[in-house]
Amino acid sequence: MHVAEHGSVMNVTVQRGSADTPTRTETFDVPAYDNQTVLDVVSWIQQNADPTLTYRFACRVGMCGSCAMMVNGVPRWTCRTHVSKVLDGNKINIAPLRNLPVIKDLAADMDPFFDKWVAAEGKHHPTRTREEEIAPVDPQAEERQAASAGIECINCSICYSACDTVTGNPDYLGPAALQRAWTLYNDAKDADRDAILDAVSGKGGCHNCHSMGSCTAYCPNELDPLSAIAGLKRATTRRFFGRRG
Amino acid sequence: MLDMRLYMAQRLSALVMAPFVIVHIGVMIYAIQGGLTAAEILGRTQGSLFWFLFYGIFVVAVSIHAAIGLRVILFEWAGLKGVALSVISWGIGLVLFAMGANAVWAVTA
Amino acid sequence: MKVARAHPLWLAYILHRVSGIALALFLPLHFWVLSLALTDAARLDSFLTLTEMPLVKLAEFGLVFLLAVHLFGGLRLLAMEWLPWTAPQKTWAAAAVAGSLFVSGTFFLQAI
């Protein structure tokens, strides 16, 4: 592992600006330490160089998914990205998440991302009322395993920012929302599979995916939205030919 | 952009073409042995119902496949949308079909 | 801002897209030359003699390569989307298809 020399300085370029002002970049000299995450670097700038720098974080341990940014062109959780892993010479380039509007500086507007989560029918359709017994779920069932493979998503939008299909096609629901739809489709407790398949078959649906796999390549939780979307394509195709939805 | 209907048309035309492309590559390897002449090509294809159907179906499938493929690329990379996108992609499909049908007729009739 | 994309599946995607565009651009020329058989057979022959030129031969190689790349890239996509196989099963299936095509292709080249 690379260990920074004591007293050395990093050259950090940060994207500034908001929806109302044109974006520009600013460069800061930030002291390098042996143990330092990209989030530490952003916080150092905000606390020591420019208190007007806007960014978003909460848990700092990779659980909440709110600190994702573009680091040297790659979407990453800044709290779980060690500087030594991404340092390019002594430079780092930090920008807000791609494919989303910018609120200000490094804080991206997550609204479109969450709207699509809902548009992909990412909500539970109950099979029973609260008066009834809880339905038992067999953890070994094939469908349950398919669902379980995708439920650790924390909505950080890394996959959404990595996807070039989202860039070219603003209607496209994107990997996270579609993976959510796939987990519900495989949930024995979900009562409306047809509604899910309808929601992912429209103009922005799963059929727009070109299987470039950046979602799976960059997911920090090592989930596989690419295969989940392929599953939706398979399910909708099966339904197209009149087989069980 | 690609809804269920266009997706199925794209994938099914691809599925139809897969064996055609393999045969097409095979015929190419075979036909260029000793150089290409018009007489050689026409001797193989003229009056043949088999090659008429083979290239005929091939042309129909490739017109659909290329029109939908270019439609997606024109939308994603050139920002074309709405009526303009529909008109251009239909135009691509129809021009390819017309030229392809003309070529098939020329070598098999 | 530059975006890091150099991973195998992204390269497969861009290769499929670029080969598709190139083939679509080539098709009208291909159709037009063949249609000369009906209207101007002598001109078709003069076109076909061009195929003896090394540069044209190289271009032909490129076209066949693009066609093969687009074919196998497309079959890969169809298998990925429609076959509920595991990733290793798909890898073995692709290897089997490629291997048998290589063997039968070599046989074919020997036979003619």
A65 with A175, same domain: the answer is no
What are the pLDDT digits (tens) for A169-192? 999 999 999 999 999 999 999 989
| pLDDT tens sequence across A72-92 | 999 999 999 999 999 999 999
Is B101 contained in some domain?
yes
CA C16 from centre of chain: 10
At what angle are helices B82-108 and B38-45 packed, to 10 degrees?
Answer: 90
CA atoms of A2 and C76, how far apart (whole Å): 40
| pLDDT score at C98 | 79
A134 plus A223 within the same structural domain: yes
Nearest-CA distance A98 → chain B (Å): 16
Same domain, residue pair A155 and A231: yes
Residue A4 lies in a domain: no
Residue A11 zone, left/alpha/beta (φ > 0; ψ -120 to 50; rest): beta
Full domain range(s) for residue A212: 111-240
In a domain, B63, yes or no: yes
- Structural domain of C73: 8-84
Residues A59 and A47 in one domain: yes
pLDDT of residue A143: 92
Q: Give the 3-state secondary structure of C10-55.
A: HHHHHHHHHHHHHHHHHHHHHHHHHHHHHHCHHHHHHHHHHCCCHH
When divided into structural domains, chain B yields a total of: 1
Q: Is B94 on the interface with C (CB under 8 A)?
A: no
Co-location of A59 and A123 in the same domain: no
Between C68 and A244, the higher pLDDT residue: C68
Residue B28 counted as domain residue? no
**What is residue A48's predicted lDDT score, i.e. its pLDDT?**
97
Does the distance separating the beta carbons of C51 and B36 come in below 8 Å? yes
Domain stops at, among A92, A108, A124: A108
**Residues A158 and A229 placed together within one structural domain of the fold:** yes
Residue of C nearest to A206 (CA): C81
- Each residue's pLDDT tens digit, B63-106: 999 999 999 999 999 999 999 999 999 999 999 999 999 999 99
Residues of A in contact with B6 (CB under 8 A): 207
More confident position, B62 or C108: B62
Averaged pLDDT for residues C14-24: 96
Contact by Cβ (8 Å): A23, A104:
no
Q: Does A177 fall in a domain? A: yes
Residues A161, A98 contacting (CB under 8 angstroms): yes
Residue C34 lies in a domain: yes
The tens place of each residue's pLDDT in chain A, 245 residues long, gives: 344 455 799 999 999 998 788 889 999 999 999 899 999 999 999 999 999 999 999 999 999 999 999 999 999 999 999 999 999 999 999 999 999 999 999 999 999 999 999 999 988 899 899 899 988 899 999 999 999 999 999 999 999 999 999 999 999 999 999 999 999 999 999 989 999 999 999 999 999 999 999 999 999 999 999 999 999 999 999 999 986 54
For position A2, what pLDDT does the model report?
43
**Are residues A232 and A185 in contact, defined by beta-carbon separation less than 8 angstroms?**
yes
B29 in a domain, yes or no? no
What is the pLDDT at residue C93?
Answer: 79
> Higher-confidence residue: C96 or A97?
A97
Q: For residue C40, tell me if it sits in a domain.
A: yes
Domain count, chain A: 2
Range of the structural domain that residue B44 is part of? 4-21+37-108
User: Is C70 annotated in some ligand binding site?
Assistant: yes
- Which subunits count as partners of chain A given 3+ CB pairs below 8 Å? B, C
Domain-embedded: residue C107: no
For an interface test with A, which of C14, C77, C80, C85 has the most A Cβ atoms less than 10 Å from its Cβ? Answer: C80
The confidence score (pLDDT) of residue A5 equals: 53
Residue C58 has pLDDT above 90, yes or no: no
Residue A245: inside a domain, yes or no? no
Q: How many whole angstroms separate alpha carbon A108 and alpha carbon A78?
A: 14
What is the number of domains present in chain C?
1
In the predicted model, is pLDDT for residue C61 greater than 50?
Answer: yes
Residues A236 and A118 placed together within one structural domain of the fold: yes
| Residue at C91 is within a domain | no
Q: Which of C1, C11, C14, C17 to mutate to test the interface with A (most CBs of A within 10 A)?
A: C1
Residue A34 domain flag: yes
Which chain A residue has the Cα nearest residue C3? A73
pLDDT band at residue B28, thresholds of 50, 70 and 90?
confident
For residue C1, being part of any structural domain is answered with no
Question: Is C74 domain-assigned?
Answer: yes
Give yes or no: residues A175 and A95 share one domain: no
**How far C34 CA lies from chain B's nearest CA (Å)?**
5
Interchain contact, C27 vs B62, CB within 8 Å: yes
Tell me, yes or no, whether A166 lies in a domain: yes
Q: Residue C43 sits in a domain of what CATH number?
A: 1.20.1300.10
The verdict on A194 touching B (C-beta cutoff 8 Å) is: no
* pLDDT at res. C2: 64
Helices and strands: H and E segment counts in chain B:
4, 0
- Does C70 have pLDDT greater than 90? yes
Q: Provide ipTM, 2 decimals.
A: 0.92
Q: Which domain CATH number covers A71?
A: 3.10.20.30
Does the pLDDT of residue C87 top 80, yes or no?
Answer: no
Q: Are residues A51 and A116 in the same domain?
A: no
Residue A39's pLDDT is: 98
Q: What is the pLDDT of residue A244?
A: 57
Percent residues over pLDDT 90 in chain C: 32
Distance CA C9, CA A211 (A): 7
Same domain for A84 and A127, yes or no, is no
A23, A16 in Cβ contact below 8 A? Answer: yes
Question: Is A100 found in the same domain as A41?
Answer: yes
pLDDT of residue A121: 93
| Selected residue of A173, A208, A237 to mutate for chain B interface (largest B Cβ count, 10 A) | A208
Identify whether residues A18 and A78 lie together within a single domain: yes
B76 touches chain A (CB under 8 A): yes
